[in-house]
Structure 1
Amino acid sequence: MTITIRDEELILAKERAIYLPQQELLAISDLHLGKAAHFRKAGLQVPSTLAQGDLERLSILLERFQPKTLLINGDMFHHDVNTDVDDFGRWKLQYSNLNFILVKGNHDKLDEKQYQNLGIKIHDPSYCTSSFCFIHDAVKCKEENLYPISGHIHPGVAVFGKAKQSLKFPCFYFGNDYAVMPAFSVFTGLSLVKPKANEQVYAITPTKVVKV
């Protein structure tokens, strides 16, 4: 779905990403690489294919939009370096011409040299364009003239049917004061949002993005 915010076109992809054609920038949030491996290390039987599936979905987006920049809006890595992070390093080798930017989130605690070795440029606390401030937690944005686009809370929305049954979907939330991106990782929960007047929510269904 294509929408316009601050006179700039944004494409909302069902793979849980935003593409900014004017900036040639693809933005995702809350990738949480390494979360599954972290849980497995703690003895929980979490499938090792979760992170691989997220990276495959990201490859589909990169092929579709051909961006110059990939921006991860916080929580790229869930914990310390582990096998999932190693898999990312190998996956990244095929995108040598792509500019990787990370806006640091609360889970991004790797050593600065580790980010450098992976070819990732760090922006802390935000990355700004002429219209938007990409920041992991919107309440920390100090750019008064820009519209914050954040992550962090893993927004979701409940959609109700005629028989009062409901389904919950991840969503894009565009409020009066800031926006929140969905978590890119499928290995996350949902925090249900309740939009106020003039605020917009776009649910991410298995087949498309729909306004609710």
Structure 2
Amino acid sequence: MMNIVEQDLIFSGENLILTNQRIIYWPEEDTLILSDLHLGKAAHFRKHGIALPKQVAERDIERLAKLITHYAAKQVVITGDLVHAGANKEVELFASLTLQFPETAFILIKGNHDRFIDKKLSAIGLHAVYSIWNMGPICFTHQYTRELADKWTISGHLHPGVRVQLPTKKYLRCPCYVVTEKQIILPAFSLFTGLDTWSIPENATCYAFFEDGFFKVG
């Protein structure tokens, strides 16, 4: 059974629910928001001689399916890097997911790894593909830029995390949501990603999480 821990956040005047499952739920819009699935990344590494389990993407897709069911989401917004490298069998897993939820709209904000042409992206069940997209007061983009400084933005790309020293002098690394006054940077949804603990904006609060809860840093 999936353990879902929630953390409420008011952002742009909207109530958002951060979860320890690397996804945000926006109740007002019945929308789930995530980033960086990187479908095909494990296969790409295997192709280059690095042994990785084939179940990596399957577990990510299964987790997403459970979250869509749990929240009865009518819309899923992916802020980039859905596909890691070209056409691959892991993309077919996503296509099967969209067929499993015909009443749910899947929207992609293209990231630097999403090199499929839009026609192919729509063929795997995406209802719309954008480079930048506004819904209500929030602007969705894959990678934040200064040109968006006057907007409330939700982005991905960085795979943010925190590094915390424990009493034992060892360090704990956890994924996190990075939150500033007008910006949220999402953790990577895929469990097979590294963590960037160095590119956190100044004056940001990090909502770091683990299996059983959240803690704030900054």
User: Structure 1 length normalisation: TM-score?
Assistant: 0.92
* Offset, 1:177: 4.3
Distance 2:149 2:120 in 1: 29
Say whether the 8 Å CA contact 2:99–2:125 is kept in structure 1: no
Matched, 1:112 2:141: no
- Aligned residue number for residue 45 of structure 2: 39
1:97 and 1:114 map into 2 onto residues whose CA distance is 21
Structure 1 residues 123 and 12: alpha-carbon distance in aligned structure 2, compared to 1, 3 A threshold: same
1:191 — aligned with what?
196
Q: What is the root-mean-square deviation of aligned Cα atoms in Å?
A: 1.7
SS of the aligned residue for 1:209 comes to strand
> Following TM superposition, by how much is the alpha carbon of 1:125 offset from its aligned partner in structure 2, in angstroms?
1.8
Residue in structure 1 matched with residue 4 of structure 2 by the alignment: none
Could you tell me which runs of 5 or more consecutive residues in structure 2 were left unpaired when the two chains were aligned: 1-6
Mapped partners of 2:160, 2:24: distance in 1: 15
**Match runs of 1:70-85 below 5 Å:** 70-85=76-91
Q: Any residues of structure 2 matched to 1:112-191 within 5 Å, and which?
A: 112-139=118-145, 141-142=147-148, 144=150, 146-191=151-196
| Residue range with higher mean Cα deviation, 110-119 or 44-53 | 110-119
Q: Give the number of aligned pairs.
A: 210
Listed one character per residue, the Cα deviations across residues 18-46 of structure 1 (whole Å, up to 9, x for unaligned) are 11111111000001011111222223211
Alignment partner, residue 48 of structure 1: 54
Aligned-pair identity in percent equals 38
CA contact (8 A) 1:12 1:209 kept: no
- Write out aligned runs for 1:6-21 (5 A): 6-21=12-27
Amino acid at match of 2:130: D
Moved segments of 4+, more than 6 Å: none
Aligned to 2:100, the other structure's residue is in SS state coil
Worse overlay, 155-164 or 43-52 = 155-164
Distance (Å, rounded) in 1 between the aligned partners of 2:149 and 2:126: 24
Superposed CA offset, 1:78-98 (max 9, x none): 011111112222232211111
Answer yes or no: is the 8 Å Cα contact 1:160–1:166 preserved in 2: yes
Does 1:207 pair with 2:212?
yes
Compute the displacement of 1:170 (Å). Answer: 0.5
Using the TM superposition, give the Cα deviation of residue 141 of structure 1 relative to its aligned residue in structure 2, in angstroms: 4.9
Q: Does 1:91 align with 2:97?
A: yes
Please say if residues 95 and 125 of structure 2, whose CA atoms lie closer than 8 Å, have aligned partners that are also in contact. no
**Partner residue of 2:71 out of 39, 62, 65:** 65
Task: Indicate conservation of the 8 Å contact 1:133/1:141, yes or no.
Answer: no
- Structure 1: 5+ residue stretches without partners: none
* SS of the residue 2:44 aligns to: helix
* Contact 2:162/2:173 (<8 A) preserved: yes
User: 1:101 Cα deviation (Å)?
Assistant: 0.1
